[in-house]
Amino acid sequence: MRRRAFLQTGMAAGIAGATGLGSTPSHIRTTPITAEGPLRLSSNENALGLSPAARRAVIDGIPEANRYPGAKRRELVAALAAKHGVARESIVLGCGSTEVLQVMVQASATRRCALVTANPTFEDVFDYGIPETYRVERVPLDANMAHDIDRMRDLAALSWDPVLVYICNPNNPTGTLTACSDVDSWIEDAPANIRFMIDEAYFEYVDDDGYWSAIKWIEQRPNVVVARTFSKIYGMAGMRLGYGIAHPDTAAHIRRFMCQVNANELALRAALASLEDGGLVGRSLDANTRAKQVVYSCLEELDLEYLPTQTNFVMHRINGDLRTYRERMREHDVWVGRPFPPMLSYNRLSFGLPEEMERFTEVLREFRTKGWV
Ligand SMILES: Cc1ncc(COP(=O)(O)O)c(C=O)c1O
């Protein structure tokens, strides 16, 4: 199907879903990311959009949007506490998980603290280290593209001052995993000056027996905070809702730095409906797997190496200069990922819908015929 026709089909379904006109079967995609315009494969969004149940909850919630959202906040906190088997006091809602990461970085800052991260990794945490507060130690990923836990651990051990350790697992931009057993053994032995910020934004996408959540530590270890989000598997990036999970004392400390009423009524309703939509995670995973297969088979056909991913994006070789590649993609109405030094011969490609990835692969094949990749 040509892109325009495909988008129009999606748009028609989207309007029906958004207005509540007609009942859209839940397995049917109800909207494209945009009605017209570029293929947006640069921000690791979920192209399925809000689930039909979340959409309905948002529309039904509009009459309540003039009220402060206390009741729905409490409801969502209770739902998340039940989901993760933790106390309600352990849940901290954020404006996306970004707010949780930001506040962790800022609330942990002292005069001589260090921030230990992998390289490359998700860059937001660096943006929040107030200039000259943190000594930043970026440790290259190891040969398996996992966090080099031994080196990070050695570096952290050099300090008596607070050390904030950021572990993004799976890692953005590489989509790769770090063995949770290695993370566990570090957490188990770590002194209290070492604080762990474990970012599990892509948790639900992982299909690997050696992977599990760090949430299991939060009761015993006040120095561990786990960040989760509704932006990825739940398709709510534009609604801005994420959360941290931590020991109640740590959660109380973090909360003091956050906007007290930071989640809006409609986002809260969408999140509650998403959690209750038992098929949502499966649908997202299914679309992601199909999109991934389309991309993998094209990359293999073109002999462009890629890092097998545990997320909704993939890092792949481009055989050339990243800036030029991205500009050429833009000229073809395709937005692809930003630079992640030192991996400048790779592009980070987010997965859209399978049909969107077919369109992307057409462009990539055209690039090959022109000798651009
Ligand atoms: C690893 C990681 N953490 C956190 C975020 C922030 O997501 P949000 O603030 O939408 O929850 C992102 C967004 O792409 C991410 O990739």
Interacting residues of 190 by C-beta distance below 8 A, sequence separation 6+: 156, 196, 223
Distance CA 296, CA 226 (A): 31
Residue 36's pLDDT is what?
Answer: 63
Residue of the CA atom closest to atom 6 of ligand 1: 98
Write the single-letter amino acid at 251: A
Q: Where does the pLDDT of residue 17 fall: very low under 50, low under 70, confident under 90, or very high at 90 and above?
A: very low
Nearest atom within ligand 1 for CA of residue 98? 9
Q: How does DSSP assign 184-198, residue by residue?
A: HHHHHH--TTEEEEE
User: How many angstroms does the Cα of residue 302 sit away from the middle of ligand 1?
Assistant: 30
CB-based pocket (< 6 A), ligand 1? 44, 96-98, 122, 168, 172, 199, 201, 229, 231, 237, 242
User: How many angstroms does the Cα of residue 355 sit away from the middle of ligand 1?
Assistant: 25
User: How many angstroms does the Cα of residue 326 sit away from the middle of ligand 1?
Assistant: 22
Residue of the CA atom closest to atom 2 of ligand 1: 201
- Say if residues 36 and 7 touch (Cβ distance below 8 Å): yes
- Say if residues 26 and 293 touch (Cβ distance below 8 Å): no
* E strand segments, the chain: 39-41, 91-94, 114-119, 135-140, 163-168, 194-199, 224-229, 242-246, 313-317, 334-336, 346-350
Nearest atom within ligand 1 for CA of residue 237? 10
pTM above 0.75, yes or no: yes
11 has a pLDDT exceeding 50: no
Nearest atom within ligand 1 for CA of residue 171? 1
Residue 128's pLDDT is what?
Answer: 87
Residue of the CA atom closest to atom 3 of ligand 1: 201
Architecture per CATH, domain 68-276, reads as: 3-Layer(aba) Sandwich (3.40)
Distance CA 113, CA 129 (A): 10
What angle is formed at CA 270 by the lines to CA 264 and CA 271, rounded to 5 degrees?
A: 90
Residue 110's pLDDT is what?
Answer: 87
234 has a pLDDT exceeding 50: yes
24 has a pLDDT exceeding 90: no
Tell me the per-residue pLDDT of 156-215, one tens digit each, with 9 for 90 and over: 999 999 999 999 999 999 999 999 999 999 999 999 999 999 999 999 999 999 999 999
Of 7 and 215, the one with more pLDDT:
215
Looking at the DSSP bridge assignments, the partners of residue 94 are: 242
Q: Where does the pLDDT of residue 28 fall: very low under 50, low under 70, confident under 90, or very high at 90 and above?
A: very low
User: How many angstroms does the Cα of residue 368 sit away from the middle of ligand 1?
Assistant: 32
User: How many angstroms does the Cα of residue 371 sit away from the middle of ligand 1?
Assistant: 34
Domain ranges of the chain: 3-51+279-369, 68-276
142 has a pLDDT exceeding 50: yes
- Say if residues 243 and 97 touch (Cβ distance below 8 Å): yes
Tell me the per-residue pLDDT of 332-360, one tens digit each, with 9 for 90 and over: 999 999 999 999 999 999 999 999 999 99
Mutation choice for ligand 1 from 232, 313, 315, CB with most ligand atoms inside 8 A: 232
Interacting residues of 233 by C-beta distance below 8 A, sequence separation 6+: 46, 202, 203, 204, 205, 280, 281, 284, 285
Exposed, middle or buried: residue 222 (CB in 10 Å: 0-12, 13-18, 19+)? middle
The domain 3-51+279-369 belongs to what CATH superfamily? Aspartate Aminotransferase, domain 1 (3.90.1150.10)
Mutation choice for ligand 1 from 43, 125, 199, 231, CB with most ligand atoms inside 8 A: 231
Residue 178's pLDDT is what?
Answer: 98
User: How many angstroms does the Cα of residue 367 sit away from the middle of ligand 1?
Assistant: 30
User: How many angstroms does the Cα of residue 239 sit away from the middle of ligand 1?
Assistant: 13
Residue 31's pLDDT is what?
Answer: 47
Residue 29's pLDDT is what?
Answer: 42
Tell me the per-residue pLDDT of 72-120, one tens digit each, with 9 for 90 and over: 999 999 999 999 999 999 999 999 999 999 999 999 888 889 999 999 9
Mutation choice for ligand 1 from 124, 262, 309, CB with most ligand atoms inside 8 A: 124
Q: Tell me whether domains 3-51+279-369 and 68-276 share a fold.
A: no
